[in-house]
Structure 1
């Protein structure tokens, strides 16, 4: 049986002595994913608005930069959750993915019941799913299975 040793140059993530990906790797990947997701959700909202979809909820418009801001805030909350799970959970990746998928599903509920046009509700839900599709895998890859 042969044993292969991976160096930092060979591995996409740096690992601690305990074999877990480093906290630094987690934080950098999470910050990058947060930035990408923030731009993506603002882009989706702007494209929807340009296509004629209203961004009004309860008669008040949601500004396009607001999509980026809220994406960043909640993505950073997810990153904090990942850091805590990395430290305390026996299987942090599994717990993180299950928790964040459930939270993403719950985040769609206010969109469904919002006082908004059906197309607006669909656009809001799409932005949640876009953010989750970017952030969850990027952070989960940096957690131990």
Structure 2
């Protein structure tokens, strides 16, 4: 007598996906933010270890200031709160929340690249790391929230 198991290998993937698509938008946003912030901070630490100077200046500043360890993490969390609020508003009022979220956040990410590009008293290598860090955070957070928004029920 033989016993056969009918495990579906796709079921595990499906259950992970459903974890993202059935949770509240704010919770998916929080989890996406934490993942994006950790990955972005790890990228910054790797670049710091590679010798990229982590000093940048805001427009109008007379000199660059040290970007502290944890600064990238904090920046991602700060700006992602606005993204989560946007996602929640779109989930409630937008006709196509996922598409609207993607278009809006990709445009905002593109606009955010102007900050590092015009940062005075900042090494070019640091400007590049700052710009790439914006893309890293967006590449993690935007797809996860968009996936959740694609399952909003009307």
If the TM-score is normalised by the length of the shorter chain, which range does it land in?
0.7 to 0.9
Say how many residue pairs are matched: 129
Q: Secondary structure at the match of 1:13?
A: helix
Matched, 1:119 2:143: no
Matched, 1:140 2:125: no
TM-score scaled to structure 1, two decimals?
0.83
- 1:68 equivalent among 73, 83, 105: 73
* Structure 1: runs of 5 or more not aligned: 1-9, 15-20
TM-score scaled to structure 2, two decimals?
0.78
The aligned runs of 1:1-145 (5 Å cut-off) are: 12-13=17-18, 24-58=23-57, 59-115=64-120, 116-144=122-150
Q: CA deviation at 1:27?
A: 2.0
* Structure 2: runs of 5 or more not aligned: 1-13, 58-63
Q: Which has the larger radius of gyration?
A: 2
Q: CA deviation at 1:34?
A: 0.6
Runs of 4+ in 1 over 4 A off after TM superposition: none
